[in-house]
A and B are shown apart, each in its own frame.
Chain A
Amino acid sequence: MTISLHGNLQRGSLHLDLALDLPPGLTTVAGPNGVGKTTLLRLIAGLEALDNGRLLVDRVVVDAPAEGRFVPTHQRSIAMAFQDLRLFPHLSSLDNVAFPLRRLGYRRATARRLANDLLTRVGAGPITDRRPVELSGGQAQRVALARSLAGQPRVLLLDEPLAAIDRDSRTELRSLLADTSLAPTVLWVSHDPDDGHVAASQIVVSHHGISHTQQP
């Protein structure tokens, strides 16, 4: 198990009871709006904290209020593609993607070369010089996806990363995300049932709770 999450949290009217043991590979997260899919990702990222319980990533306790243990986001080996993208407005597409690589210690030239490769893989090769404000919705989403891949995380958290991508390109990007060399564990919030077909397991969040099924 790469992620073991047992516990609960209350945020306003949202209450989540969690008992999840996720295998490596791709897991999709489905369910209606407002039931806590994004909160689940934020919890694993360390942008939210458990009220009670324990969260382990790769057998390391990263969140356990009873033990007074909480590893902050930047020290967890995670990366996240946000639903509202959150690209850095002052950086070009290329430098947005190079940003996590620079933080990992790569030299500028190497970081840019790797970032360029990633942008090409997500189909955003020709827009490297542009700033976020100059991008269309689909282009910006590709850049955000590439940035999350660039962090070389153990756990990749994707919050509807293909929502603004046209139908034709979806298939291609879907198989890219199923490629486990990008990150050992991928959690992918998606509303498209087709996305589930490439996944190793599926989480369904509803008002009644969370269920996890592994693909046979």
Chain B
Amino acid sequence: MTTPPTTAPRTLRVAGFTATGLLALPLVVLLTRAPWTSMARRLGEREVLESLAVSLTVSLSATVVAVMIGFPLAWALARDTLPAGQLIRSVVLIPMVLPPVVAGTALLFAFGRNTPLGRLLDTWFGISLPFTTAGATIAAAFVALPFFVTTVEAALRQHGTGLEEAAATCRTGPLAAVWLVTLPAIRPALLAGTALTWARALGEFGATLTFAGSVGGRTRTLPLQTFVALERDPETALAISVLLLGVSLVMLTALRNRITLR
């Protein structure tokens, strides 16, 4: 690859390099400080494996929940079929900018054991959300949902209704048109939205801790385990961090290469 002659002013270039350095430095230190020789043993510890299992269960379930309720919502928003669509869009976006601990607090006061909704869930379905894996899933889905909705809504808007109309003239009803034409046409955005949602759910910390606590084997996800390990055994915290950094890098590469290719 050849480098085109740059026209960016010198000061901007220097500032750009500085910013890159600031972002990259902690990650490089993380990699150099990581206990590479004892990595396998540390990641194989029972507590770490347990939190890995919790993390996978919680993040994947949360992604499924977000996709299932997120797609109909994104579709309705993109097609302007909802009354007060603009208001609903703002509400959906709130978890993106809300401090996660506030999200967790809100969930706790909505679904906690001693709230009307919490009691209802308990007596009717025997479900208790706080300090359970289900609660951790709800917390992760709550903060991750906007990533899916915004990505997919943008793609649906950009595509417009042209293909759905074309499908209708090919004897295809509205629901079948979404399944046979719209979904395949926005596949890259669906995959990107799902990946972003999963990444956000996997990294979730504040809302999970506030709403679901840090119960080993049930709600203690990898990020929570990292935090716990920092006090007792910083080397293990480093090892988990490297693992999560690796997952993020794989995700980013996949997003840039495979998913954006049509």
Contacts and interface: CB of A to CB of B under 8 A. Distances in A.
Contacts of A167: none
Contacts of A89: 163, 185, 262
A99 B163 CA distance: 13
A206 to B, nearest CB: 26
Interface in B74-124: none
Contacts of B176: 103
Interface in A58-85: 72-74, 78-80, 82, 84
A154 to B, nearest CB: 12
A37 to B, nearest CB: 17
Contact of A88 (B163, B165, B262): B163
B29 to A, nearest CB: 44
B170 A86 contact: no
A14 interface: no
What range describes how many residues of B lie at the interface? 10 to 19
Contacts of A100: 170-171
A72 B167 CA distance: 12
Contact of A86 (B166, B171, B172, B173): B166
Contacts of B187: 90
A90 B168 CA distance: 17
A133 B262 CA distance: 10
Contacts of A148: 169
Interface in B182-196: 184-185, 187
Interface string A120-152: 000000000000010000000000000110010
A79 B166 CA distance: 9
B168 A72 contact: yes
Nearest to B161: A47
Contact of B162 (A46, A79, A84, A133): A84
Interface string A155-171: 00100000000000000
A103 B184 CA distance: 17
A50 B199 CA distance: 49
Query: Is chain B's binding surface mostly helix, strand, loop or mixed?
Result: helix
A45 interface: yes
A104 interface: yes
A9 to B, nearest CB: 17
A104 B163 contact: no
Nearest to A133: B262
Of B167, B171, B172, B180, chain A has the most CB atoms within 10 Å of the CB of: B171
B181 interface: yes
Given A74-B173, A103-B172, A104-B171, A82 B185 contact: no
Q: Which of B168, B172, B173, B187 has the largest number of chain A CB atoms within 10 A?
A: B168
Given A84-B162, A86-B162, A86-B163, A74 B185 contact: no
B169 A79 contact: yes
Contact of B169 (A80, A87, A88, A133): A80
B168 A88 contact: no
Contacts of A157: 169
A157 B163 CA distance: 16
Contact of A103 (B166, B171, B185, B262): B171
Nearest to A86: B166
Nearest to B184: A90
Contacts of B181: 88
13 contacts: A45-B169, A73-B168, A74-B171, A79-B169, A80-B169, A82-B165, A86-B163, A88-B181, A99-B167, A100-B171, A103-B170, A104-B171, A148-B169
Given A79-B170, A151-B169, 10 more contacts: A73-B168, A74-B173, A80-B166, A86-B162, A88-B167, A88-B185, A90-B184, A90-B185, A133-B262, A147-B170
Interface of B: 162-163, 165-174, 176, 180-181, 184-185, 187, 262
* Top 3 A-B pairs, shortest CB-CB distance: A73-B168, A86-B166, A100-B170
